[in-house]
Amino acid sequence: MSQLKTKHLLGIKNLDADEIELIFETAANFKDVLNRPIKKVPSLRDVTVANVFFENSTRTRLSFELAEKRLSADVINFSSSSSSVKKGETLLDTVNNILAMKVDMIVMRHSSPGAPHFLSRHIKANIINAGDGTHEHPTQALLDSFSILQKTGSVAGKKVVIVGDILHSRVALSNIFALQKLGAEVMVCGPATLLPKYVASLGVKVELDIRKALEWCDIANVLRIQLERQKMRYFPSLREYSIYYGINKSLIDSLNKEIVIMHPGPINRGVELTSDVADSENAIILDQVENGVAIRMAVLYLLAGNMN
């Protein structure tokens, strides 16, 4: 396989394992480029990309912008908080105005699940979903699985537990799809109130006890408690959450085995992870960030091959 089957990356659900592997092979080549003294290639020269963010972001927005610039694209950035959205402009009008400036690709983050899918039915530009509400965050899942591959040599056969706020997480759903397509076993672990009722129907194991989950797994991908999405209390307090589900050094040491610790960021230090775990040798949290640029270069490059 040498190209993706679609012109958009809206989620992992509709990608084949072959397509994910193509993205990984392309990302590995771009990672080599990023380690050279001259980190730039001309692949997206004359392509204009708009990063359209209706929600806050540090990693994803900067990582896409850097990936685009490393590929020599022209880049514009839109942030809803300083835009005419504040004056009542609709999503479609906003994007059509951006496209009227001859933009070829849109990278979009939006708080509404399905927003990039809606856009893909109305505009010609390639669309990359940079996170849509509680639905999917495909490039995060790709960089997470790619980081497992780079750290351990394979994704197939690995036991991966996703810990924490599964209910409000777009990272969890995209990770479940990606890991299963690549042949990993997946477990979710968290308080029952933060596990969606349908989650077992996705073919994952469900565990409420963090110690049992860590004893089972090779890799723990620990999610942020998403307080901004919680309209009611799902657990009594952050302190209680950290007592029952927080991962600290004494818990890790008591397992008598090594596990890889991942986190998509931003971390609530002292809540889901203590600093001595987040900053430990077995944590690959900053490797995930580094790999994110190569993964996003690969996605942009491959989708640019499907422009029309």
Instruction: Rank residues 130 and 298 by Cβ distance to ligand CP and give the closer one.
Output: 130
Instruction: Rank residues 185 and 293 by Cβ distance to ligand CP and give the closer one.
Output: 293
**What count of other Cβ atoms lies within 10 Å of the Cβ of residue 243?**
10
Alpha carbons 49 and 77: distance in angstroms, whole number: 9
Helix residue spans in the chain (DSSP H): 17-34, 59-70, 91-99, 115-120, 138-152, 170-181, 210-216, 238-245, 249-253, 275-278, 285-304
| Chain residues in the site for ligand CP (CB under 6 A) | 57-60, 131, 140, 264-266
From the CB of 129, what's the least distance to ligand CP, in Å? 11
Alpha carbons 73 and 68: distance in angstroms, whole number: 5
20 by DSSP, 3-state: which?
A: helix
From the CB of 296, what's the least distance to ligand CP, in Å? 11
Instruction: Rank residues 140 and 242 by Cβ distance to ligand CP and give the closer one.
Output: 140
270: CB partners within 8 A, 6+ apart: 242, 246
Alpha carbons 156 and 159: distance in angstroms, whole number: 9
Query: H-helix or E-strand containing 110?
Result: strand 105-110
Instruction: Rank residues 207 and 220 by Cβ distance to ligand CP and give the closer one.
Output: 220
From the CB of 131, what's the least distance to ligand CP, in Å? 6
233 close to 225: Cβ distance less than 8 angstroms: no
219 close to 148: Cβ distance less than 8 angstroms: yes
From the CB of 67, what's the least distance to ligand CP, in Å? 13
From the CB of 157, what's the least distance to ligand CP, in Å? 26
From the CB of 266, what's the least distance to ligand CP, in Å? 6
Both tokens of 303, joined, read 């989708």
Instruction: Rank residues 165 and 185 by Cβ distance to ligand CP and give the closer one.
Output: 165
The neighbouring-strand residues paired with 116 are none
Instruction: Rank residues 26 and 140 by Cβ distance to ligand CP and give the closer one.
Output: 140
From the CB of 265, what's the least distance to ligand CP, in Å? 5
Instruction: Rank residues 59 and 117 by Cβ distance to ligand CP and give the closer one.
Output: 59
Radius of gyration of the chain (CA): 19
